[in-house]
Amino acid sequence: MKLAIAQLNPTIGDVRGNTDLVLDAIDKAKAEGADLLITPELVIVGYPPRDLLFRNGVVEACENAVKLIADQTGDMHVIVGHPRRCSNGEKPFYNSASVCNNGRVITVYDKRLFPGYDVFDEDRYFQAGDKTCVVEIAGKRIGLLICEDLWRAQDALAERSYELEPVKETIDAGCDLILSLNATPFVVGKCQKRVKLMQSAARSIGKPIVAVHQVGANDDLIFDGRSVVVGADGEIADMLPAWESCVRRVEITGKSISVNQDPMHELYNALVLGVHDYCHKTGNKRVVLGLSGGIDSAVAASIAAAALGPENVTGVLMPSRYSSTGSIEDARALEANLGLAKCPQLPIESVHHAIEAVLQEHLHDQAAGITDENVQSRVRGILLMGFSNASSGLVLATGNKSEIATGYTTLYGDMCGAIFVIGDVVKTRVFELARWMNENYDECGFDKPPIPDGSITKPPSAELRPNQTDQDTLPEYEVLDEIVQRYIEQEQSADQIAALPHLDTDLVLKTTRMIDLAQYKRDQAAIVLKVTPRAFGRGRPMPVVMNCDVGVRSQESGVRGEKRGDRSVECQQ
């Protein structure tokens, strides 16, 4: 059997455009002499469609698109992923794969297992199918699965088990090959994990497994592609490229391919794709961001330049009375290294002084301290939004995961923007990524190392008061990032983390409390591009108003005596 894979980049809701992608893939597969073409999960509507499915006419348009595709198949079989309406179930829709050939749909498989953890909410929309599907194509019996039917949550950080075993049931029904339609969001290292799962399953059942993946980015989710064929012996027989659309005939036996890849290489390419597709799919060509001379804005600007072209990235320097000469020089060096569009310099001193005077008249001494520091950040936010309005360029927020976690960021100031480019990257990893980009600048598409040495070597500082450093407020980033990763990404309790002998108990409890209190900020934040198993955003819907002492030894630390509703812990960047 001659099998082709269509690794496609759909836009959510663009039924016509997505259908054209499939039709183009059919033409390419026919030209390569394929007997069968397989597409990703829900490719006709794009993944994840979320509540767009409820909009009148959307699912019906997808069903009509499948008929159009069937009309174009000819002798070739095409397996296309799409939603379809369910008229007699508890949920309104099916997540389906239709097998099309010679102008008709010859059979339909409905997904049986639905993830409801992390960013997934498929159990909100879809009725589970109740049967396996094995179809004969070119003399081979093909078993169909859709995403979670194959993974069963084993590729994710999720405590989830299912009674059903779709792989086993499909094999028991008698098949020569398993094909799985997938839309699996990217996480650093996840590709290697899912391939190992496929290899183990293929060896166990003694049958080849083919997984086709979506590529591209939609909102916060990034899809890396790397559709893969694993032979019956568990060896990787073929794999499509990462980060790009591809339609290609694949081999089911014969090769042995490695999928090992540098985590920094994965992280960089994922963020570039996330920025590119967010802008491209929303019809925006340009972006605006503040350049402070610090590491975060330097990394974010470099990623934006790689995604959109440096000529479409405007960096705005907004020095205050506390900004160092070195920071301005580092920002200008970054501008030159990247070849950015002309970056204006707008000192905020006059605006800061005017607001300061008004507030001091009414607040007196209370106008100083955090109040004054946040004023500076919010002045910068206003200037960036002004440039955004004038240039039709989206503002990019440059904060990292460590800052977003602890609230070391200012609402309506440096938090303003369409997306947080590195909002799922802790500070220590931002430094690691910057060094990697400089070492691999040619591979990243730059003419020279983009990040100035000063941005990497100087102590991180918001520069909102004299001689300020981040560690005046936050723990050392090596310590903070371990706490953030354990508390957020691994869901360890404060007690579990505080019990570690190398961490100070009071520091852990203070930091986890800061993380909880900052939820009200995160609920108003820009979209965070997801690259870890647990990112801030849709996949972590925490309450804002809560008083949860479970797992917190507050009676030992004195936290219980503090006012938990206090929102004065508004640190800033």
Q: Say whether 169 is catalytic.
A: no
551 DSSP assignment: T
Query: Which one of 62, 86, 100, 111 is the catalytic residue?
Result: 111
Burial of 222 (0-12, 13-18, 19+ CB in 10 A): buried
Query: Which one of 100, 133, 147, 571 is the catalytic residue?
Result: 147
**Segment (H or E) for 308:** helix 295-308
Q: Are 415 and 399 in contact (CB under 8 A)?
A: yes
Q: Are 25 and 100 in contact (CB under 8 A)?
A: no
Q: Are 213 and 77 in contact (CB under 8 A)?
A: no
In 3D space, the residue among 489, 533, 553 whose CA is nearest the CA of residue 515 turns out to be 489
Which is it for strands 36-38 and 77-85: parallel, antiparallel or unpaired?
parallel
Q: Say whether 281 is catalytic.
A: no
Q: Are 111 and 146 in contact (CB under 8 A)?
A: yes
Which is it for strands 228-230 and 236-239: parallel, antiparallel or unpaired?
antiparallel
Q: Say whether 111 is catalytic.
A: yes
Please calculate the CA angle 236-437-226 and round it to the nearest 5 degrees: 20
**Residue 358: Cβ within 10 Å count:** 11
In 3D space, the residue among 145, 144, 141, 96 whose CA is nearest the CA of residue 122 turns out to be 96
Handedness of CA 475, 480, 483, 489 (dihedral sign): positive
Dihedral class, residue 127 (left if φ above 0, else alpha if ψ from -120 to 50, else beta): beta
- What ranges make up the beta strands (E) of 421-554? 527-528
Q: Are 146 and 179 in contact (CB under 8 A)?
A: no
Query: Which one of 41, 148, 489, 570 is the catalytic residue?
Result: 41
User: Any idea of the CA torsion for 302, 307, 312, 313, to the nearest 10 degrees?
Assistant: -30
**Residue 465: Cβ within 10 Å count:** 17
Q: How far is CA 107 from the centre of its chain?
A: 34
Catalytic residues: 41, 111, 147
